[in-house]
Structure 1
Amino acid sequence: MTIPTRQIRASFNNHTIRVYQAYNTAIADSALQNGTFVSPPFKMERMTWIKPSFLWMMYRSGWGEKDSGQNRILAIDITREGFEWALQNSLLSHQTDQYPTKEAWLEAKRTTPVRIQWDPERNLDLEPLPHRAIQIGLSNKAVMLYVNEWIQKITDVTESAHRFHQLVKAGEFEQAENLLPSEVKYPLSVSLKERLEM
């Protein structure tokens, strides 16, 4: 079955959806201790990107082995209401036909707290696939809601990421595939699909 170019795939249940972030040890330990992100060391004023795709997070963080402040991988379960609020209050990170002029797009950008990027999904070798994975950038009000209301649980999955990498390096692709988190199509309303240009 061919996956559409733009489709949100995620691990979710009736109440929550799982997203991933990578941070340095100070931010990760603080978040795990407090059950959410606190400032300091987390910077509330910065845009923070959440990603439902496990393999895209592995690509971005180099399996949690990059020495770039992204050595700890966190799985964050947030409310589906919060996730869909973010989508409803989002803007694609580049100008589209929804905004006929650059000025109109820039005005929308100034007043919209969430950015959306569609980047190539990755396989176990972290090579790009034809379909896309969604990245959701939260700023301003969206960050405050994320930290104070949406987050339900934070899990450190760094060791799991390292184990996956070892299996991939050993050529044990079938075993690695079987251990991957189950990510399936996330149901969206017609209006959200239109906003995300799906």
Structure 2
Amino acid sequence: MSLGSQGSCLGRPSLPSRSLLASFSSGEVTVWRQVGGASRRGPTRGCRLYLSLPSLLHDELVGDGRIQGVRLQRGGFEALLNQAVLDEHAPSLYPCEQSWRLATRFAPVSIRWIQDMDRRGRPLSRQVPLLSLRPAALRQLSEQWIASIEGWRGGPAPALRPYPAPPTLLARLVGRNP
């Protein structure tokens, strides 16, 4: 679901539309993760999951086995979204920056909105979520919610559709007070 421009009320230029687009069925949601290469450049304490495959494809990692499609049970994906805290201060959700910092410090999942790209690395007019999981959320994901993992070897990217999350959840994930 596209939730319009964000950011102008935060004292910075308006950002592209934030869209919770996903490849999903009635029981599963596919997320994408980068393994090896760029993901090994620094220490991480968790895992990063992308909903938009083209955001990773522009790094020219196709055919190298460095991109994985992770099919999650839909209930698990929604649990991740419900645990997510926006990684930027949204005054409409947190009246003071200190309360937001406290929320992000203990959140098992954080969500950051990144510029979506096409396969050639050209920016699109939308932002897509990047979910960062801390160890507890990653453990729960790996033990309970993964249906399958497949290496990405090229070909057309799966179709993305607006994900039917509740409007109050979507508003919170983009930084609006529901």
TM-score range, shorter chain: 0.7 to 0.9
Are 1:50 and 1:137, in contact at CA under 8 Å, matched by a contact in 2?
yes
For structure 2, the 5+ residue unaligned runs are 5-16, 38-42
The offset of 1:71, in angstroms, is 5.6
Q: The residue matched to 1:103 in structure 2 has which SS?
A: helix
Q: Supply the distance in 2 between the matched residues of 1:129 and 1:111 (Cα, whole angstroms).
A: 32
> Using the alignment, how far apart are the partners of 2:3 and 2:134 within structure 1?
30
Q: Which residue of 2 aligns with 1:186?
A: 163
Partner deviation per Cα, 1:52-93 (whole Å, 9 max, x = no partner): 10101213xx1216xxxx861111100111111111111111
Q: How far apart, in 1, do the equivalents of 2:120 and 2:61 lie? A: 15
Amino acid at match of 2:85: L
Partners of 2:48 and 2:36 lie apart in 1 by: 14
Q: Which amino acid aligns with 2:128?
A: A
Matched residue, 1:108: 103
Identify the residue that residue 175 of structure 1 maps to in structure 2: none
Q: Is the 8 A contact 1:20 1:51 kept in 2?
A: yes
Letter in 1 for 2:57: M
Can you list the C-alpha shifts for 1:106-129, whole angstroms capped at 9, x where unaligned?
A: 111122111101111112321111
Q: CA deviation at 1:136?
A: 0.6
Bigger fraction of residues in strand: 2
| Residue pairs, 1:37-186, within 5 angstroms | 46-59=45-58, 62-64=59-61, 72-97=66-91, 98-157=93-152, 159-160=153-154, 179-186=156-163
Q: Distance in 2 between matches of 1:111 and 1:89?
A: 10
Normalized against structure 2, the TM-score is what? 0.79
Of structures 1 and 2, the larger Rg is shown by: 1
Aligned mates of 1:124, 1:154 — CA distance in 2: 22
Structure 1 distance, partners of 2:134, 2:168, is 22
Higher helix share: 1
CA RMSD of aligned residues (A): 2.4
Residue 155 (structure 1) shift = 0.6
More off after superposition, 145-154 vs 95-104: 95-104
What amino acid is aligned across from residue 73 of structure 2 in structure 1? T
User: Does the CA contact (< 8 Å) of 2:109 and 2:132 recur in 1?
Assistant: yes
Please say if 1:14 is aligned against 2:14.
no
Aligned residues of 2:55 and 2:119 also touching (Cα < 8 A): no
Letter in 1 for 2:80: A
Q: TM-score, normalised by structure 1?
A: 0.71
